[in-house]
Structure 1
């Protein structure tokens, strides 16, 4: 059931925990974690058929965080959903912690696949979706990519594969915030027009505001009606969303805020 207030409240808590855990670790990727928060929150609290008490439940939906450096967002959502205690979030990137800089499927409940090397996640998602088709399972697979990641050739090989096999049980998201570690995506190596490119590769394409819960939900609902072809959602987002001094600032791609900056960020998010 759609509950925008619930999603908004959960996303706010996720963003606050992203700031807290990265500040505590003094390491991590706040910009892309904050930009993808609303997408992940909607997937876990509205869309996906999952059970935190049984992470390996038969027939569960799968999520592949291809942009693995946004692990803080995934960890915060998983903890908010109840996969593990929220206190563990504050051990991010510490020696012996289950929460490494990129998701580890062998350590973190709810993580379906270890990711981090950009460009590979969609291929893995294809494998999961093909498995569902072969064994006539009705689960769905969600893959979340970055827009800088669209510069990787393997993404487009995977795009051809999903279209060739008619994987209508896969829905991919592109977190399109136009910033990557070296600067603006369109300056480093332009990837637009993404909508036309994905259409030409045989995908059903939906373009949305990636911070509007109604638009995210509408896209997810539409994707489930599409038959015989995969769906990709081009989500236009803001890097560092929710924290004024981080928004659209390339420097916060992979830099932790200072203690003083964290205080300001949390004050803004609490408003």
Structure 2
């Protein structure tokens, strides 16, 4: 595990995520930016994938169940070579391959279409079961928002995954404390998400979602746990790295050009600082 390389990649992902959303002028900044460290670990250190063959059958899968965070996926895939990065600067524009929510029929690198909250959790479980039936040894990684955990379908998928012993499936809950209408504790308090997931039989860990070493170690722990699916709760700061969105309730940002320029400049500075550390 190369911590510096991962931190550099995370900073690059944050910068490109801002540029992708800036190309449209507005979008889901908060819930995209807080996933940069996870994406850096997954695509920089953990996952098996082939940018030249996105449908490679033995690849690891990413299911971004919180599909509104598509921009962070598009930034990551561009940096990994699935397409020229500049193509993603057409976010949500006519005839684009990069809609606001991830779509497997449009964007190379997207494994499952998501956006209707809760459904990605179930389709990830189905994909993991299908891979097991086919005798594959790959893994399915599914990212769920804490606001998304309001959906009963999330918990039904946990029950299904446990019943089918899907140890090739790792759920991540992005616990940034906010959802569309405000703080999650005010809208529909979840209590202890880690204990809840554990009560469904999942091997559960809770970590700092911005610590790349902790993310990597938690994934390795999950790999070692046989016979049960895993859940990793990521304590994150919504909007991490975006000067106009961190840390506050900011589901869909509409900053002005001055704010965009400030955020992109700060992200470029942060990238240089990590490179020179």
1:253 partner SS: coil
User: Would you say how many aligned residue pairs link Structure 1 and Structure 2?
Assistant: 269
Q: Is the 8 A contact 1:29 1:256 kept in 2?
A: no
The equivalent residue for 1:72 is 71
Unaligned runs of 5+ in 2: 270-277
1:223 aligns with 2:222: yes
Question: How does 1:125-140 map onto structure 2 within 5 Å?
Answer: 125-140=124-139
2:116 partner SS: coil
Give TM-score, length-normalised by structure 2: 0.95
The equivalent residue for 1:256 is 254
Unaligned runs of 5+ in 1: none
1:224 partner SS: helix
Greater mean deviation of Cα atoms: 12-21 or 115-124? 12-21
Taking the aligned partners of 1:108 and 1:256, their CA distance within structure 2 comes to 24
- The structural deviation recorded for 1:227 is 0.7
The equivalent residue for 2:272 is none
- The structural deviation recorded for 1:255 is 1.6
Per-residue Cα deviation, 1:54-105 (whole angstroms, up to 9, x for no partner): 1111211111000000000000000010001101121111101100111110
1:166 partner SS: coil
The equivalent residue for 1:158 is 157
The equivalent residue for 2:189 is 190
Per-residue Cα deviation, 1:203-252 (whole angstroms, up to 9, x for no partner): 000110000000000011111001110000000000000123311211x2
- The structural deviation recorded for 1:49 is 0.7
The equivalent residue for 2:122 is 123
Question: How does 1:1-271 map onto structure 2 within 5 Å?
Answer: 2-250=1-249, 252-271=250-269
Taking the aligned partners of 2:25 and 2:263, their CA distance within structure 1 comes to 15
**Cα gap change, 1:76 to 1:247, in 2 (>3 Å):** same
> For the aligned residues, what is the CA RMSD?
1.0
Q: Is the 8 A contact 1:23 1:256 kept in 2?
A: no
- The structural deviation recorded for 1:267 is 2.0
- The structural deviation recorded for 1:38 is 0.9
Greater mean deviation of Cα atoms: 125-134 or 60-69? 125-134
Give TM-score, length-normalised by structure 1: 0.97
Q: Is the 8 A contact 2:245 2:253 kept in 1?
A: no
Taking the aligned partners of 1:257 and 1:64, their CA distance within structure 2 comes to 29
Taking the aligned partners of 2:203 and 2:109, their CA distance within structure 1 comes to 28
- The structural deviation recorded for 1:257 is 2.4
Q: Which stretches of structure 1, 4 residues or more, deviate above 3 A after TM superposition? A: none
1:155 partner SS: helix
Taking the aligned partners of 2:21 and 2:132, their CA distance within structure 1 comes to 39
Taking the aligned partners of 2:57 and 2:68, their CA distance within structure 1 comes to 28
- The structural deviation recorded for 1:124 is 0.5
Q: Is the 8 A contact 1:242 1:269 kept in 2?
A: yes
- The structural deviation recorded for 1:270 is 2.1
